[in-house]
Structure 1
């Protein structure tokens, strides 16, 4: 990486080198198991000038999102999260039947379905053909495209300016950060609201959440770096919400400069949290690498002990973040014979790099493993409830992050930290 994609500064600082791995959503078919896989360096760096965390853009969004394995609606809690967001956004922005809501990277309609039910005009812009079709099938108008300045201008010309633009869990996925930010501004009315949800770099660094780093995530934001990025297109952050999603996210509300008269106290409050954590200077980021190495050693040690003692282990979930974890830790079928997932698209496929089989969820009930390693650990409350029945045969849940923790799902308040 030669320069920062936000400010152009050279000489970026290494924060965490995760080695070379395949793209995390390129699940293998059985026919591909004897073929080589392309791998790319996964190296997180920091710009010392604007403090944007970033990785090199070694793959394009087209490589990942044209045919995508992730359907947001398979997570019940995520659909409910989207419903709560829509309720609050309608009130905040004063949306009516005459309003327009545009969501960028709208996936399978998990969020805009709530807008449709309220009788508010909306449009999803979703690059993945397969998940975009799923959205249309449930009545969510969806344009199949990657958002860029040309597409933004076309959408505005056809539909008018949007009173609310939603860009949840996409602002990290764009290598052309400046052009994409200008595109968001083009979509937005001069008195409109922009909502962006991204994983908070505060949690990434503070809790060593290294598995949130993968090739389709090109940058990782604090509120400070998000402010600086949005300002390049004349957008001002007016409010910030701290969210529990993805292990700790921020919801940034922004408006055009001319409409941003009132800045909520939350903006300064979160900036203060980041400053206290050391993230407004370079040194605050440099403890991530040794902490990630410690987590790897602890998880590998536990799984090796299971193999020695005959303790059976299966995985739950096949998320992108799980593939970063599996590859960085070197976990393969000898330590994790299979994982299961609710998404039928992944059934019969194999995890990239580590080549662990992905099976339907009922395989766990058939095999009754002693330990279930939960790869989407950020969905802990939801998945603890879903998997509570494994207590019937004495099964326990293993959460790898933020601290390696083994729990009995029938006795949730009693948790044993395996380390630290």
Structure 2
């Protein structure tokens, strides 16, 4: 394996999660008697450019041609998108003649707010089922993977974009350099590119091992993301630390010729990364030990619940949850099933762990004593959604960023 940013062969393993199936490959009942393909999940650090990455063992086409994730099922994520759009339009002074492109636009969760503001927009979304849902909502959407030919076609047909949004997609691309050139091809020479990615600083500091899965090929610090964007003539001029996905960064980049100096906020975040050791190989040395400790603590807690005769189920079927279930070796003997708001997942089974996925109403019917919350990054939203389980004293287990238990409608321990 070579580093997909700088080409170096000096790649150091910093987190080995064993072999797991692709996290979004949900199983039908008919597939339960069939063998399931697994792939190594080994996070490596380039010792030359410090990009965190995993080997590209599956392709985007394997994951995203038909996709199980619909962004609009998270109320907090839709609100996050609404707030972003309002702030971006004001910050950039985009008027009625502006053109906004979102890459990996999913079901239109973000562009619906651009449409509501009266601006021209286009989503580029590779998943056939998800892009169809966006068009049904009136969001102009092209069903394609973004590459350089697609970018050229879009620019010819629609013109250059004043703003290109790439939220939670920059990690999903094995052809990092080609994709970055495609971003540059989409944006106007005086335009802006906004990129949101999970921050490698939080992955390392809090051992957020479940953010590592096969469709995430890269994991960025501010420094490594800036290096990547620079390969296509895009300069990062500002960075915001945001709370999504357990701690993310939003990078604002412009074509080099109009970029100007970086903001004080960007300098502060780069300095914080350096203090945390992210700009040196040594800063990543303890990640495996801390992930192993989190795994052991969670298993010990679940085993104690089961020995006490308590009924344990899970909430959510996100990709990160499947990394957690498989790395920890959690099976239906410890967690009976999970529930999800997305009807697309109902009646299916999680990959590897093979937990059945039910509608959320199943929890009210069964009244389990313990609920393991897999999308722990949505703690505030989900604790509120599950407040009714306090009626029978259910305990909500949040495995990360540190293992803790919330009594529904009550206290945390």
Q: TM-score range by the shorter chain?
A: over 0.9
In structure 2, the residue matched to 1:392 is 391
Q: What is the distance in 2 between the residues matched to 1:192 and 1:286?
A: 39
Matches within 5 A, 1:9-408: 9-408=8-407
| CA–CA distance in structure 1, aligned partners of residues 211 and 175 of structure 2 | 20
Give, in angstroms, the shift of residue 185 of structure 1: 0.1
What is the CA–CA distance in structure 2 between the aligned matches of 1:205 and 1:261, rounded to whole Å?
31
Given that 1:209 and 1:401 are in contact with CA atoms closer than 8 Å, whether structure 2 keeps it comes out as yes
| 8 Å contact from structure 1 (residues 299, 404) kept in 2 | yes
Deviations 1:307-336 (A, max 9, x none): 111011110000000000000000000000
Q: Tell me if structure 1 keeps the 8 A contact 2:198–2:245.
A: yes
Please give the alpha-carbon distance, in whole angstroms, between the structure 2 residues aligned to 1:31 and 1:313: 25
2:163 alignment partner, SS class: strand
SS at match of 1:157: helix
Matched, 1:415 2:398: no
TM-score, normalisation: structure 2 = 0.99
Q: Please give the alpha-carbon distance, in whole angstroms, between the structure 2 residues aligned to 1:10 and 1:92.
A: 41
**Structure 1 residue runs without a partner (length 5+):** none
The structural deviation recorded for 1:409 is 2.3
DSSP 3-state at the match of 2:131: helix
Judge conservation of contact 2:49–2:224 (CA < 8 Å) in 1: yes
| Cα deviation, residue 97, structure 1 | 1.2
Hey, what's the Cα distance between the residues in 1 that align with 2:29 and 2:199?
36
Kept in 1: contact 2:126–2:144 (CA 8 A): yes
Report the alpha carbon displacement of residue 11 of structure 1 after superposing the two structures with TM.
Answer: 2.4
Q: Report how far residue 402 of structure 1 moved.
A: 1.1
SS state of the match for residue 96, structure 1?
coil
Using the TM superposition, give the Cα deviation of residue 369 of structure 1 relative to its aligned residue in structure 2, in angstroms: 0.6
For the Cα contact (< 8 Å) 2:197–2:250, is it kept in 1?
A: yes
2:164–2:194 Cα contact (<8 Å) kept: yes
Moved over 4 A (4+): none
Quote the Cα distance in structure 2 between the aligned partners of 1:409 and 1:276: 38
Displacement after TM superposition at 1:96 (Å): 1.1
Q: 2:192–2:252: 8 Å Cα contact kept in structure 1?
A: yes
Distance (Å, rounded) in 1 between the aligned partners of 2:337 and 2:153: 46
**Can you list the C-alpha shifts for 1:361-387, whole angstroms capped at 9, x where unaligned?**
011001111111000000000000000
Question: Partners in 1 of 2:157 and 2:10 — Cα distance?
Answer: 43
1:51-90: CA deviation from partner (whole Å, max 9, x where unpaired) = 0000000000000000000000000000000000000110
Cα shift readout 1:178-217 (whole Å, capped 9, x = no counterpart): 0000000000001101000000000000000000000000
Asked whether the 8 Å contact 1:83–1:114 carries over to 2, the reply is yes
The DSSP-based 3-state class of the residue aligned with 1:172 is coil
Alpha-carbon distance in 2 for matches of 1:281, 1:214: 24
Contact 2:81 2:110 (8 Å CA) reproduced = yes
Contact kept in structure 2, 1:93 and 1:192, CA below 8 Å: no
CA distance in 1, matches of 2:237, 2:188: 16
Q: In structure 2, what is the Cα distance between the partners aligned to 1:290 and 1:391?
A: 35
In the superposition, the TM-score normalised over structure 1's length comes to: 0.98
CA distance in 1, matches of 2:38, 2:95: 48
Whole-angstrom distance in 1 between the partners of 2:92 and 2:279: 31
Structure 1 residue 152 displacement after superposition: 0.3
Over the aligned positions, Cα root-mean-square deviation in angstroms equals 0.6
2:10–2:48 CA contact under 8 A, matched in 1? no
Judge conservation of contact 2:371–2:396 (CA < 8 Å) in 1. Answer: yes
Distance 1:187 1:253 in 2: 15
